[in-house]
Amino acid sequence: MISTRDALTSSSSDSAVRWLRSRLGDPTAEDLAAAADSLEAETVGHLEATGSASLSSLFDRWPEVLGEPALLDTVLDVAVEWFVRERGVDRDDALRRLRDANPGLSAQLELCRVLSDAIGVSCSTAAQPKDDVLTLPAEIGPPLTSGGRRYELRQLLGRGSQGRVYLAVDRVLSDQDRPAWVAVKLARVSSAAAAQRLIDEAAKARRVEHHNVVRVLDADVTGANHTHLVTEYIEGGTLERLRCGASDRQAVNTAVEALASVCRGVQAIHSQGLVHCDLKPTNVLLTGHGVPKVADFGLSVRRWSASAVSEPALAGGNLAFMSPEQFRHPDRPPAPPGDVYALGGLLLWVLTGRGPNGATGSEVAARLTRGDSKAIEADLAGIVDDDLRAIARRALADKTADRYASADALAADLERWLEHEPLPWRSVSLWRRGRLFARREPMLTAVAGVAVLVVLGTGIVGGLLVARAERRRVEATAQTATAQVATDRAIADKRIAEAEARANEARATGQTQSVNAARIMLKAMVGDVSEQWLPMMTALETLIGPTILVAPGGEAANVWSERVAVGGRLIEKLEARSGGMTVESAAWRACVAYWKVRLNDPAGGRELALSTARLWTERGWPTTDPLFKKLSLIEALAEFTGDTAGAPPERAEALRTKIRTIAGELRGEYQEDPLSKFALHRIEPDTAGSKKSPATGR
């Protein structure tokens, strides 16, 4: 985030500085108030950077200060306060140091000393000093019948726009053992009329009752050109706590949920005829439970109706989050689209760390004055999700007509994003809608996918059964027609060939559909869904048979490859969760090793089977277990598949004997064990040297 001070002081040639200086040619009280805020931060930054009491380099950057008594008083007051607070000296010593380092300011520093003495005498009365740090505890507010005043200021919380914020106790609402904490903001204004206008606006702000808006409790005139505003005290920090990387899905969800709530709170402010005008990260507070609340609007809100006001509007708005129209037309009444722009800026900032108007003063001035769509797009590129990026782009549109019509509309789209729903104003592809649905209903998607595979598998099995029955019928007809002439025999043969062709075509079509469905399932499903699909697919093959994923053209091999990848991720997750290999992960290791052998990767299958067997024996598990026997069978099958081509005949025969022995043992425990059947098929002498499909072994 960048502040107004950052935007105005990035360099002496900065265009934003020239803009403010051009306005200071005939400064109003509001101009001076805005400049004073920037000067306070600039003065503190200068003193912290140099540690010196000399202010000459500060005046080199701000020569107007020397000609404007109000601004000069601000610089000297802040400098004295800084030496008292940071160096632990008294005010007289601080004034002496400044006088020695800046001999040309002796008269102004003497006046500062006199004012400080006056402030020290009157700090606990109703008329508060113009903005100096009070001697705490201090009292403020209406007098009580029991003596003293209603609010006791205990701690300085920080500087806000137009004043300072203190932690205070409300003596009227406090119990003896439980103080009622509130936040009290002391603000300076240009005149008594402006102070009264602020009180009127605060009275309207009190009607805003929303759980995402800090409640305004009280407001009154403290003294000449000063007011105080009392709000509920929020102690959980600011929106800065939620800033995250755009790729951290969980943190992004939390931040977007909070910003949707902020939008609802801003809409509640708009519904009361008010505009915030100064939305920024530090003006969004978080409760201890993480609930966001819009703050600091009691002094910055303004009417957006066409009716004119006699006093000029308050100078306000942080340049880092100010809307283009608010910057280009400061005399026009503010409107809700300006707040919508700032909300879009908060979304961009919380996800990328960049403000909507740039990171330097020159960038801020260029974007607010002329607009810079390329730079904005470069910032938006830091948002990974396409829909979320589109939401931020619309909220930050240069023209108000292109933005969201209200803060509620922006909140609705953020909530749609959280619910994985498509944005109604965007053209969404069928593939994108499918992915969003899979995120909303992962289990339903998995069940539907398995149902599709079951239907396809049933169709394949049914087609095979029909083809087999047809062939038997034709063969029976041919047998009964042996007495017929050769012509009749030819007709029968032709019918058999046609029936086989139809059966092969039905089988190939069904297999291709099942493979394509499986590949779509693997690609469309994300996260745990694909891992849930794997055991479902394995169970389906157990019921229907391994031919469900057999297809021409190498498509089956692709599905087996994707299966190996999914199985590998599942093994990693299981073993990461348990801290090592378990019986369940050992079973999946055996599956993956078997699949690698079927994929013509016998070396990979053998290595995985051997490492699993070694871990099995290290844990002292029984080697008579059927799963351990399967590992031995896979290792032997992998060695036979990979090494028998150039191995001596004796070695190949020894491996065949080993495979037959283990398969025989397993057959006693698993009558139709697919691994044993596959292994025995592979070692048959008439097919061992033939080419086999990676997925089928045929």
pLDDT digits (tens, 9 = 90+) for 332-374: 888 899 999 999 999 999 998 888 888 766 677 778 877 777 8
pLDDT band at residue 264, thresholds of 50, 70 and 90?
A: very high
Cα dihedral value 566, 434, 554, 612, nearest 10: 10
Average pLDDT over residues 57-71: 78
- The pLDDT, as a whole number, for residue 249 is 80
Task: Give pLDDT tens digits for 613-644.
Answer: 999 899 888 888 888 888 999 998 888 887 65
In three-state secondary structure terms, 476 is helix
Most confident of 356-365, 410-419, 650-659: 410-419
Ramachandran angles phi, psi of 142, nearest 5°: -65, 150
Please state the separation of Cα 271 from the chain's center in Å.
29
C-alpha distances (whole Å) from 592 to each of 530, 568, 607, 674 are: 15, 7, 11, 14
Ramachandran angles phi, psi of 494, nearest 5°: -65, -40
Least confident of 147-156, 560-569, 590-599, 664-673: 664-673
Is the same domain home to 260 and 395? yes
- The pLDDT, as a whole number, for residue 133 is 58
Is the same domain home to 290 and 311? yes
- The pLDDT, as a whole number, for residue 15 is 36
Is the same domain home to 601 and 668? yes
Is the same domain home to 17 and 106? yes
The neighbour count for residue 152, using CB atoms within 10 Å, is 22
The single residue listed with the structure tokens 């590998």 is 568
The neighbour count for residue 533, using CB atoms within 10 Å, is 21
- Mark which of 428, 457, 483 sits at the end of a domain: 428
Specify the amino acid at residue 66: L
Three-state DSSP string of 420-470: CCCCCCCCCCHHHHHHHHHHHCHHHHHHHHHHHHHHHHHHHHHHHHHHHHH
- Mark which of 489, 517, 550 sits at the end of a domain: 550
- For all residues of the chain together, what is the average pLDDT? 74
- The pLDDT, as a whole number, for residue 557 is 57
Is the same domain home to 286 and 395? yes
- The pLDDT, as a whole number, for residue 250 is 85
Task: Identify whether 533 is part of a domain.
Answer: yes
Is the same domain home to 255 and 196? no
The more confidently predicted of residues 646 and 151 is 151
Question: Would you name the residues annotated as active-site residues?
Answer: 278
Please choose, from the candidates 190, 188, 193, the residue with its C-alpha nearest in 3D space to the C-alpha of residue 222: 188
**Count of domains in the chain?**
5
Inter-residue contact 591 to 567 (CB < 8 Å) = yes
Task: Identify whether 264 is part of a domain.
Answer: yes
Task: Identify whether 227 is part of a domain.
Answer: yes
Is the same domain home to 320 and 407? yes
Please choose, from the candidates 69, 6, 222, 251, the residue with its C-alpha nearest in 3D space to the C-alpha of residue 134: 222
Range of the domain at 326: 240-428
Average pLDDT over residues 60-87: 78
Is the same domain home to 30 and 101? yes
Sign of CA dihedral 512, 517, 522, 524: positive
Task: Identify whether 76 is part of a domain.
Answer: yes
- Mark which of 528, 550, 572 sits at the end of a domain: 550
- The pLDDT, as a whole number, for residue 484 is 63
Average pLDDT over residues 303-315: 38
CATH code of residue 413:
1.10.510.10
Is the same domain home to 375 and 488? no
pLDDT at 16 over 60: no
Is the same domain home to 168 and 256? no
Report d(CA 293, CA 286) in Å as an integer: 6
pLDDT band at residue 27, thresholds of 50, 70 and 90?
A: very low
Number of H helices, E strands in the chain: 25, 8
Is the same domain home to 392 and 377? yes
- The pLDDT, as a whole number, for residue 489 is 67
Task: Identify whether 127 is part of a domain.
Answer: no
Task: Identify whether 129 is part of a domain.
Answer: no
Least confident of 132-136, 142-146, 179-183, 550-554: 550-554
Average pLDDT over residues 193-205: 73
The more confidently predicted of residues 614 and 424 is 614
- The pLDDT, as a whole number, for residue 629 is 87
DSSP 199-224: HHHHHHHTT---TTBPPEEEEEEEET
CATH code of residue 202:
3.30.200.20
Report d(CA 260, CA 282) in Å as an integer: 17
Q: What percentage of the chain exceeds 90 in pLDDT?
A: 14
pLDDT band at residue 437, thresholds of 50, 70 and 90?
A: low
Q: Which two tokens mark 314?
A: 């308050």
- The pLDDT, as a whole number, for residue 307 is 39
Ramachandran angles phi, psi of 374, nearest 5°: -65, -40
Task: Identify whether 99 is part of a domain.
Answer: yes
pLDDT band at residue 430, thresholds of 50, 70 and 90?
A: low
Report d(CA 87, CA 471) in Å as an integer: 102
Task: Identify whether 130 is part of a domain.
Answer: no
Is the same domain home to 360 and 407? yes
